[in-house]
Structure 1
Amino acid sequence: MDNSTEERLLLLEEFDREGLKKRVWNESKKLWRIAFPGIIARVTSFGMIVVTQLFMGHISELDLAAFGLQQSILLRFVNGILIGMSSATETLCGQAYGAGQYHMMGIYLQRSWIIDGVTATILLPLFIFTTPILRLIGQEENIAVEAGKISIWFIPILYYFVFSLTIQMYLQAQQKNKIVGLFSASSFLLHVLLSWLFVIKLGFGLAGAMSAFIISSWLLVIGEFVYIFGGWCPNTWKGFTKAAFADMLPLVKLSISSGVMICLELWYSSILVLLAGYMKNATVAISAFSICLNINGWEFMVCLGFLGSSCVRISNELGRGNAKAAKFSIKVALVTSIVIGLIFWVLCMVFSREMSYLFTSSEEIAESVYRLHVLLAFSMLLNSVAVGAGVQSMVAFVNLGSYYAIGLPLGILLGYVAHLQGLWIGLLSGVVVQTLVLSYLIWKIDWNEQVNKASERLDRFFIETTKGSDESSNLS
């Protein structure tokens, strides 16, 4: 019997000795220790987009509609790609941390910067040629022109995503969630202050709102750079290394499989916003739909922050070779996440009218938002069900079928009959199918097989570090 097998048996014995209540309590503490700062980070990061939209709504209806179209379609499109590509960093760093291969985490981070940076540059023309693209697909001329002006301001945000997403996942994997939450919350508060100063007090309009967004976003990244390079991650950051350029293809493949899963999820709602632009009174339709999606997205960030902690916990246990603990962790996470969804469902049902006026002073837009509140509440509830759990390619196929074979066609069909409500019913039907199928698939996962896969992946990417090694030599 080798050492790794003995270690796994010891872990199983230790796990089995604990009673159910104690295991649930201990697992919940571990999850929330990671989750709470992660939730703060994701909610405040996404909140900067929501706050920008909120101030746009008090500039003009056209700016609100143009920002809603730009943010809900283009920004969500590229953000989906980069979040998905970056999620491979979360998986690999979590498993490396669990296996004690700390030096590999800094190498994975550098590789993700290279892959995401190249991806962002490939996507850059979408921001430069926004107006012609929107004209080509038949959007209203005034909205297309205004969205084109806003899209240029989003270019610095595109590269902000490259660093902020990957650094957050890198720090979270090594239990440094408090610093991520602190940086993100500080950046959010600064953004609110700058937005009020530039838009309301100084009257800078669109330029003021977007400048506040860019400044607060990049100050967050600069703070994270100082933290990493300044020596606060001594075990996982060994400096820039040529090893980051080695063996890139397997990581690219893992990033793409992760990216497809997240992209199909985020693009689904983006397509429905695009369809809203073809409806009668497109300015109101786009504004109302994008407001609802951003409220829904903000709640989804809570779920995503919590589920991100679940991914770290599962990756840690898989890295340690403890399949039983990994399976138990996702069960605790699922139940807790559903409780979170129920809380938000109640809040949306009770305060639906009040929240619409936060984003706009237009009675027509506020009323359109209110008419969607029941469907919005149930979307929030379904957001709370955890998906993924290391089965990215399988999830991509499920999303493809449930969203694009069922939800989207139904939304288009009902959109002609019930307008915005019809579009949202289509969106909701796809989410229901996806939730049911994935819940069953995750429950049936062979966790012993996942342990073996995690071990094989770590062995494949592992690079030995020795003093004077050319492979891991410092470049700085």
Structure 2
Amino acid sequence: MAGGDFLDPLLENSEEDIEEIKSCSQFFKESLKENKKLWNIALPAIFTSIAQYSLGAVTQVFAGQLTTLELDAISTENMVIAGLAFGTMWGMGSALETLCGQAYGAKQVHMLGVYMQRSWVILTLTAFALLPIYFFASPILRFFGQDEEIAALAGKFSLYMIPQLFAYAINFPMQKFLQAQSKVMAMAWVSGVALVFHIFLCWLLILQFKLGLVGAAIALNLSWWIVDLGQFLYIVMGYCHGAWTGFSWGAFRDLGAFARLSIASAIMLCLEFWYYMLLVVLAGTLKDAQVAVAAMSICTNLNGWELMIFIGFNAAISVRISNELGAGRPRAAKFSILVVVLTAALIGVAFQTTILILRNVYALPFTNSPEVAGAVSHLALIFSFTLLLNSVQPVLTGVAVGAGWQWLIAYVNLGCYYIVGLPLGFFLGANLDLGVEGIWAGMISGVGLQTVILTGITFGTNWKKEAEAATSRIKEWGGSVGPQVENTKDFKSYNNGAVLA
């Protein structure tokens, strides 16, 4: 293959910010360097995602020692009420991936702390806006057909879990703040310690003290606030030199523009998050609903664990893209995209192959029902392609977040998932009587269409213009923050007493 022909479509119209790729050997050499940068971010981010995801899962495991009704109540609150809040907060916090990442790449480190504080303000207000969901959880669950006893107890448990809602509001801005600086090992350590503490606390309060729902709520709330406290102490103790300069009144400026980007991020990610939840609802409309829901839940659960891995890649590519664009290095940004997409696709192929090899047994750890295991086995082929698509799709979403395309991707998700995927799944599953396979085929059609569109957008983008847009965004939103300063003392002098601490 001559020269850099195979990279020309990717690297045209770019600045000479990395060496021109002239051979395959040079491509592999540069790929190894880029992979090292990506994995340094991705591995701790994967561990952090799994550890925090496990807080709710561990609670449900210990709740299995309680009555079936209490287990159902905790599971329902965790999946529906807390799941809605988690998706919303995670999405809104993702606006910082764009802003902090680009500011860090442009060496405007002093802006990161103010951006984080603005996000705290917006997410805390959002938490107050979400309170009615917690207060009226029981009637909401009844409206969607939930069993009366489960709805009543889940509503009671939801009230206990309000502190977790506000912990989300504090947590996600700090995560994005640390990610932008590639300080992901600190997040991993904090999340690991919180998970160990949570396991002990669940054992103590649920099994030993027999506190039931109250014990589960105390353990889960405390563990999330330990995550917040650990991250906050790491930040304020000086490990983020220049990025944290104390509390500032600047956090209350430019909130309108900041809120718009936060809302766009929330819509973009929630449209994906809710898509898979609605698939289970669709399965409940089929003839043999119990088997269908069980089979769909097993596959969705496995898909969720795979997603935790690629959330790490999502964070890594978002950091790499935003940093490179902020630094005015569009060629490096495009090369990073190419490397991470290829890496993610190879891992996706490995998952796909594993499912096909284990197609007759991979459901057995989750069920002892031959009917459910058979339904899951029939899904193996189409489910394996889902795992392949879901290896690349989160990476492309991470690119979109790093570049600041949240509103564009929100429209793409709305069209692909809710105009194509869900209606097609309902038509194939219910109208054509294809059952679970039909619903899943509709779902994968939506994901496949979205992946194709995101690929076209990503590799058809003029990244030099994106780097210029990043510079413009930093100048526009950083104007109220002031010039970069080297330490807190200088920052206080510049603000003329406007700093709170």
User: What TM-score results when the alignment is normalised by the length of structure 2?
Assistant: 0.84
Task: Letter of the 2:302 partner, please give it.
Answer: I
Shift of 1:167: 0.9
- Residue 208 of structure 1 and its aligned partner are, at CA, apart by 3.8
Q: 2:452 aligns with which of 420, 423, 436?
A: 436
**Kept after mapping to 2: 8 A contact 1:273/1:286:** yes
Is the Cα–Cα contact under 8 Å of residues 14 and 463 in structure 2 kept in the other structure? no
Letter in 2 for 1:399: N
d(CA) in 2 for partners of 1:66, 1:73: 10
Which moved further from structure 2: 60-69 or 441-450?
Answer: 60-69
Paired with 1:279 and 1:384, the residues of 2 have a C-alpha distance of 29
1:400 matched residue in structure 2: 414
- Per-residue deviation, 1:425: 3.2
1:464 to 472, 475, 482: 482
Identity %: 39
Tell me, yes or no, if structure 1 residue 37 matches structure 2 residue 53. Answer: no
CA contact (8 A) 2:47 2:188 kept: yes
Question: What amino acid sits opposite 2:418 in the alignment?
Answer: Y
In 2 relative to 1, CA 13–232 (structure 1 residues): closer, same or farther, beyond 3 Å? closer
5+ residue gaps in structure 1?
1-8
- What CA distance in whole angstroms lies between the structure 1 residues aligned with 2:375 and 2:305? 16
Aligned: 1:231 with 2:238: yes
SS of match in other structure, 1:16: coil
C-alpha distance in 2, partners of 1:334/1:197? 44
CA separation in 1, counterparts of 2:477 and 2:281? 41
Using the size of structure 1 for normalisation, the TM-score is 0.88
Deviations 1:286-336 (A, max 9, x none): 666445433322211210111211111111110111111111111111111
Q: 1:10 to 1:274 in 2, by over 3 A?
A: closer
Q: 1:55 to 1:344 in 2, by over 3 A?
A: farther
Distance 2:242 2:458 in 1: 33
Aligned residue for 1:12?
16
How far apart in 2 are the matches of 1:79 and 1:300?
15
2:3 match: none
The 10-residue stretch of structure 1 (463-472 or 320-329) with the greater mean CA deviation from structure 2: 463-472
Do the aligned residues in 2 keep the contact of 1:379 with 1:428 (CA within 8 Å)?
Answer: yes
- After superposition, residues 137-286 of structure 1 pair within 5 angstroms as 137-200=144-207, 203-276=210-283
Q: Give the partner amino acid of 2:494.
A: S
Change in CA separation of 1:36 and 1:70 when aligned onto 2, cut-off 3 Å? same
Q: How many residues align?
A: 467
| Matched letter for residue 437 of structure 1 | I
User: 1:110: Cα distance to partner?
Assistant: 0.3
Q: What are the Cα deviations for residues 150-190 of structure 1, in whole angstroms up to 9, with x where unaligned? A: 32233222222112221111111112111111111222233
User: Using the alignment, how far apart are the partners of 2:21 and 2:419 within structure 1?
Assistant: 47
Contact 1:76–1:270 under 8 Å retained in 2: no
Match of 1:387 in 2: 396
**Are 1:448 and 2:441 an aligned pair?**
no
Change (3 A) 1:37 1:214: same
| AA in 2 matched with 1:179 | A
User: In 2 relative to 1, CA 166–244 (structure 1 residues): closer, same or farther, beyond 3 Å?
Assistant: same
CA contact 1:160–1:217 (8 Å) conserved in 2: yes
Measured in 2, the distance between the counterparts of 1:58 and 1:282 equals 27
CA distance in 1 between partners of 2:288 and 2:149 (Å)? 13
One-letter identity of the residue aligned with 2:475: D
Tell whether the 8 Å contact from 1:97 to 1:174 is kept in structure 2 after alignment. yes
Structure 1 residue matching 2:498: 3-state secondary structure: coil
Residues 97 and 180, structure 2, Cα contact 8 Å, conserved in 1? yes
Distance 1:353 1:61 in 2: 30
| CA distance in structure 2 between the partners assigned to 1:96 and 1:38 by the alignment | 20
Check whether the contact 1:93–1:170 (CA below 8 A) recurs between aligned residues.
Answer: yes
SS in 2 for 1:139: coil
Paired with 1:472 and 1:426, the residues of 2 have a C-alpha distance of 58
Q: Which moved more, 1:104-113 or 1:59-68?
A: 59-68
Q: Which residue of 1 aligns with 2:439?
A: 423
Work out the CA distance in 2 between the residues paired with 1:304 and 1:445. 23
Q: Is the 8 A contact 1:54 1:358 kept in 2?
A: no
Match of 1:474 in 2: 499
Q: Which amino acid aligns with 1:401?
A: G
1:196, distance to aligned residue in structure 2 (A): 4.2
Rounded Cα–Cα distance in structure 2 between residues aligned with 1:282 and 1:198: 36
Q: Spell out, residue by residue over 1:67-118, the C-alpha distance to the aligned partner (whole angstroms, 9 max, x if none).
A: 4443333333222221121111111111111111111000000000001111
| Structure 2 gap segments, 5+ residues each | 1-12, 484-490
The one of 317, 338, 342 aligned to 2:345: 338
SS in 1 for 2:58: helix
The alignment partner of 1:387 has SS state of helix
**Cα RMSD for the two superposed structures:** 3.0
Q: CA deviation at 1:407?
A: 1.2
Give 1:52 deviation, angstroms: 2.9
CA shift, 1:242, in A, is 0.2
Distance in structure 1 (CA, Å) of the matches to 2:325 and 2:459: 16
CA distance in 1, matches of 2:41, 2:267: 26
